[in-house]
Amino acid sequence: MRIARFRYCSKEAWGICEGAKIKTTGGAFDLNRVKLLAPAAPSKIVLVGLNYRRHAEELRMSIPKEPLIFIKPPSSLCGQGEKIIYPKGVKRLDYEGELALVIKKKGRFIPESRAASYILGYTCLNDVTARDLQRRDGQWTRAKSFDTFSPVGPWLETQIDPSGLAIKTLVNGKLKQSSSTADFIFSIPRLVSFISRVMTLMPGDIISTGTPSGVGPMHPGDIVEVAIEGIGSLKNPIVSS
C-alpha cells in the first residue's frame, strides 16, 4: 500500500495511492492534479553516515563497529518536485540517494525482533550535502541542514521487503549511483534498535539508512532523481539561491 501526503486547493491531506488516484475518506483525487508533499511530519530526521560496504571501500574507511548517526532538522524537509536551493557561498553540493523509513509509533529501547512493528513505511531520500562546508567544519551539521536539503518522497510504501532493494541516483537522466540494500553494513532492525537506545522515536520521525558508493556533485539546472525498487522515484530540480 502506498500512502501519500498531498496538498489540494491549499488543503493538506493523507491518502492511499491506487493507480492514478489518491483516495481519501473525503473522495478521490487525480495524482496529476495534486501537489505531493514529503510523506512525514517528523520531530527529527536521523541519518546513518556509513552503511554500505562499497561506499566504505570507496572512501578507504574501516567498516564501523556500530552505526554512525547524525540528525538533520525538520526545516530541511521538502517533497517531490520541490526545488533544492543551492546556497550562496557553497562551492560543492552533493547528492546522496538513500532508502528512508518513517516511524509509526513512539518507541524507546526497541528490540531488533520488534523493529518492523514500529515502521510505517519506506520512501526515497536525498541527503543533500554541502561537501566543502562539511570538510571545512570537520563535522556535518551546517553542511547538511540548509532548508530544502532533505527531499523525501514521493510516498510511503508499506508492503515491501527492504533487505535487497535496488537503489539508484540519476542526474539529468545519467546514472550516478547504483547499488542494493543487500550491501548494508547494519540491517534496518539493527538501526531502529540502536537509534531508539539513544533517543525516543516519535510517530512521523524519519530514519535514513545511508548512501551507496558514487556520491558526487549537483549544479543549478540539474534534475536529481533517487529511484528505489518497489517504491518509485523522487525527483527534484537544483536552483540557485
pLDDT digits (tens, 9 = 90+) for 164-208: 999 999 999 999 999 999 999 999 999 999 999 999 999 999 999
Give residues with Cβ within 8 angstroms of 10, minimum separation 6.
none
- The pTM of this model reads 0.96
Domains, the chain, in order of start with CATH, read 1-36 (2.30.30), 38-240 (3.90.850.10)
User: Greatest CA span in the chain, whole angstroms?
Assistant: 53
| Tens digit of each residue's pLDDT (9 = 90 or more) over 44-53 | 999 998 899 8
Alpha-carbon gap, residue 196 to 151, rounded angstroms: 23
Q: Is the torsion defined by CA of 131, 132, 133, 137 positive or negative? A: positive
Question: β-strands 174-180, 166-171: how paired?
Answer: antiparallel
| 3-state DSSP assignment of residue 172 | coil
| Tens digit of each residue's pLDDT (9 = 90 or more) over 58-76 | 777 788 899 999 999 999 9
Alpha-carbon gap, residue 143 to 191, rounded angstroms: 23
* C-beta separation of 42 from 83 below 8 A: no
For residue 60, what pLDDT is reported? 77
Alpha-carbon gap, residue 72 to 193, rounded angstroms: 19
Amino acid at 34: V
| Tens digit of each residue's pLDDT (9 = 90 or more) over 209-236 | 999 999 999 999 999 999 999 999 999 9
Half-sphere exposure at residue 228, Cβ-oriented, CA atoms within 13 angstroms: 32
